[in-house]
Amino acid sequence: MSARLRHRLRAARRAFLQVFGIPDFERYREHMHAKHPGAPLLSEREFHAHAIDRRYGAAKPRCC
Amino acid sequence: MNKLGSMLAWAAVAVLGAAAFAALALSHGESVNSVWLVTAALCTYFIAYRFYGKFIQDRVLRVDDTRMTPALRHNDGLDYVPTNRWVLYGHHFAAIAGAGPLVGPVLAAQMGYLPGTLWILVGVVVAGAVQDYIVLFTSVRRDGKSLGQMIKMELGPVPGGLALIGVLAIMIIILAVLALVVVKALTASPWGLFTIACTIPIALLMGIYMRLIRPGKIVEASAIGVVLLLASILYGRAVAADPSWGPAFTLSGPALAWALIIYGGVAASLPVWLMLAPRDYLSTFLKVGTVIALAVGIYVVAPRLAMPRTTLFIDGSGPVFSGKLFPFLFITIACGAVSGFHSLISSGTTPKMVEKESHMRLIGFGGMLTESFVAIMALTAACVLDPGVYFAMNAPAAVIGKTAAEAAQVISGWGFTITPDMITQTATDIGEKTVLSRAGGAPTLAVGMAQILATALGGKAMMAFWYHFAILFEALFILTAVDAGTRAGRFMIQDILGNAYKPLGNTEFLPGNVLATVLCVAAWGYFLYQGVVDPLGGINTLWQLFGVGNQMLAGIALLLCTSVLVKMKRERYVWVTLVPAAWLLVTTLTAGAQKILSADPKIGFLALARKFSAAAADGKVLAPAKSIDEMQRVVFNNYLDATVCSLFVLLVLAMCLFAIKICLQALRQAQPTAIELPPGGVGASS
């Protein structure tokens, strides 16, 4: 697989996850490395649990 | 594209749209192809987006891409994430699209396809898309604040508190009416009930899978979920036909209502990852997939519209809902044209993900145009059905009787010729025992969709499958809404209770949680039960109550937008939000006043209450009530409905006064007084 194709696939996967509001661990990890190097990182399992609880815990009303 | 090319392309879109409208308008006496309807809608959307949306962007709001958005300011990789605009458009659309745009247009089809189509198209361009866009803009300029917070900031604490009470009341009515749609679709339908019941263990399994077995693998879990769902639809036919399982899944309306009430209470108390989250992902995938399939289906099959352009029922005598075209069309079709609930979503998660201000036209304005397209497709699916079948499915038993023979006679009497055989054949085709009086939109849409999808894929043999698929798809996201809405209602109630007794406001305090959940479920459960046992069908009353509430919330949101424009010193363009706000106020206040005060007991709550109360005093029992007890219940419920309706009316009038006061104050100021964050985000709280 060419690097370019791999890059495209990754971007498509990312967009898909974002459209459906699915937590993206990879993006979180990159964000933490770039913005908060050295800060404690949640494990993949912790990240997903945390993200789902946050997304639904705020008890936002669903649209009619 | 160069300028000339662009001009030619837009001229072509305009000509195509005009041709489509001409085809709709000039079809005398012959049926029109639904492709014209859908094409007219699409051309309207493109032109509105390109020209009116851009006008609002450049002249009215004057968006500024050098300003920091909340996503850039707080970028935390979790809630605040700068997001590609197309991705956010999809995300926002998935968040605003629900059952609303599917139900309203189906009910409104009783007046013919044209009134509904025109209101959906004009309404979305002038009101709905404008509301969603400007609320999103206002929230982004205020660090992603919610509608309630913004009303408090810009209009004052009293209007802020009033808005919260209004939102809670509307939510209770929405939950009741959505649950009622599910009850109407599943009553005495073992196949349907079995597949919906299966979604509970499937969701639990998915929840455990994506939390404990393969953490975060939501797509995998959803794929398993979809396969199991399809299997449950296929297997449902056998269950329904089984001599012992069939009757076990055949429930009456009141039994289903109790089941839903208990479900709502239990589901809202479970951890979110166990049922709410997996079911929400599943329903979002199905929703987006089905909407795309329906759009492709309509273009591939190109069915003819069987419903006439307008029917005799624009005079207000319709069996599906009572009341004249003005004002009742405009509150029956709420979502799809303009929906107040969107103002909560546009000031929820979406503003925290906007990367640049210029992206908001696509997300807010474009997202709402897409939802409107869903409403147009729902209307199309309902109008593709034979009008006789449509009325058999949507008129209450009190009007058309309980057998196919009676129904065929009554409906043919209205000029929509139909035989009892056609009614029973429709039921057989979709694998149900009866289709009579299944009001509420979902079943009608499901039959329409089944007709379209079966023509495209699978033929008549697949109709029953597609029907139950469509019911499942609607029920799935309604049940998610019931779960999420009960949770949201619980938080709001705890917020209010906390003012009276502090510990009750603590969301970690178990007795407080339980009390608030029970209060919330009891509130919507009461309206649901009342709707289920109402011999006139319930949808008749509840949907209109919902419509009034939802459109009034839109009116309030547009009043906020109007005040913000005036405070920004853009009063030259204030008509952009003032015109739709005024229209919503006029239609909802007229509808509200008629629902409360009309002397016609078919429309006015008080008139009906008085009629039944007078008869009960004489010891007479009026049909459809069967005892004096039932008579008393009708009286009480109508007084209650009148009270809720009055609450909405008073609320919106109060908000109107506050908005006028604030606007007059702002007009006297020489400088802008809107409370926005400064462009660089200095002083922002994080």
| DSSP per-residue string spanning B41-103 | HHHHHHHIIIIIIHHIIIIII---TTSPPHHHHH--SSS---B-HHHHHHHHHHHH-SSHHHH
User: What is the predicted pLDDT for the residue at A62?
Assistant: 67
Which residue among B83, B90, B216 places its CB closest to the CB of A23? B216
Secondary structure string (H, E, C) spanning B101-161: HHHHHHHHHHHCHHHHHHHHHHHHHHHHHHHHHHHHHHHHCCCCCCHHHHHHHHHCHHHHH
Distance from CA of A27 to the nearest CA of B (A): 7
Interface test with B, best of A25, A33, A53, A64 (most B CBs within 10 A): A64
Instruction: Fill in the amino acid letter for B554.
Output: A
Contact B75 A28 (CB under 8 A): no
Determine the residue of chain B that is closest to A47 in CA distance.
B216
Question: What ipTM was estimated for this complex?
Answer: 0.92
- All residues of chain A having their beta carbon less than 8 Å from the beta carbon of residue B78 are 28, 51, 54
- All residues of chain B having their beta carbon less than 8 Å from the beta carbon of residue A45 are 215-216
User: What is the predicted pLDDT for the residue at B440?
Assistant: 84
Contact B100 A64 (CB under 8 A): yes
Distance from CA of A8 to the nearest CA of B (A): 15
- Residue A42 near chain B (CB below 8 Å): no
Determine the residue of chain A that is closest to B173 in CA distance.
A64
**What one-character DSSP code corresponds to residue B676?**
P
User: What is the predicted pLDDT for the residue at A59?
Assistant: 62
Residues of chain B with pLDDT under 70: 1, 537, 680-686
Is the peptide bond between B624 and the residue preceding it cis, with omega within 30 degrees of 0? yes
User: What is the predicted pLDDT for the residue at A61?
Assistant: 67
User: What is the predicted pLDDT for the residue at B682?
Assistant: 45
pTM of the predicted model, to two decimals?
A: 0.94
Question: Of B364, B315, B293, B467, nearest to B140 (Cα)?
Answer: B364
Instruction: Fill in the amino acid letter for A27.
Output: R
Distance from CA of A23 to the nearest CA of B (A): 7
- All residues of chain A having their beta carbon less than 8 Å from the beta carbon of residue B225 are none
Which residue among A28, A31, A57 places its CB closest to the CB of B272? A57
Determine the residue of chain B that is closest to A48 in CA distance.
B216
- All residues of chain B having their beta carbon less than 8 Å from the beta carbon of residue A41 are none
Question: CB under 8 Å to B128, separation ≥6 — which residues?
Answer: B336, B337, B338, B339, B342, B368, B371, B372, B554
User: What is the token pair recorded at B72?
Assistant: 């850039």
Which residue among B95, B272, B490 places its CB closest to the CB of A56? B272
State the CB neighbour count (10 A cutoff) for residue B49: 17
- All residues of chain A having their beta carbon less than 8 Å from the beta carbon of residue B339 are 63-64
B316-327 confidence digits (pLDDT tens): 999 999 899 999
- All residues of chain A having their beta carbon less than 8 Å from the beta carbon of residue B170 are none
Contact A19 B91 (CB under 8 A): yes
User: What is the predicted pLDDT for the residue at B507?
Assistant: 79
Which residue among A28, A45, A62 places its CB closest to the CB of B215? A45
- Residue A12 near chain B (CB below 8 Å): no
* Angle, CA of B520, B210 and B352, to the nearest 5°: 60
Question: Of B257, B640, B237, B685, nearest to B464 (Cα)?
Answer: B237
User: What is the predicted pLDDT for the residue at A60?
Assistant: 67
Which residue among B77, B86, B344 places its CB closest to the CB of A28? B77
- All residues of chain B having their beta carbon less than 8 Å from the beta carbon of residue A57 are 272
Contact A19 B90 (CB under 8 A): yes
Which residue among A19, A28, A62 places its CB closest to the CB of B484? A62
Is the peptide bond between B511 and the residue preceding it cis, with omega within 30 degrees of 0? no
Contact B211 A49 (CB under 8 A): yes
User: What is the predicted pLDDT for the residue at B500?
Assistant: 85
- All residues of chain B having their beta carbon less than 8 Å from the beta carbon of residue A62 are 98, 280, 477, 480-481, 484-485
Q: How far is CA B82 from CA A14, A52, B222, B570, B651, in A?
A: 13, 19, 26, 28, 37
User: What is the predicted pLDDT for the residue at B600?
Assistant: 92
User: What is the predicted pLDDT for the residue at B99?
Assistant: 87
Question: Of B367, B408, B403, nearest to B386 (Cα)?
Answer: B408
Determine the residue of chain A that is closest to B343 in CA distance.
A63
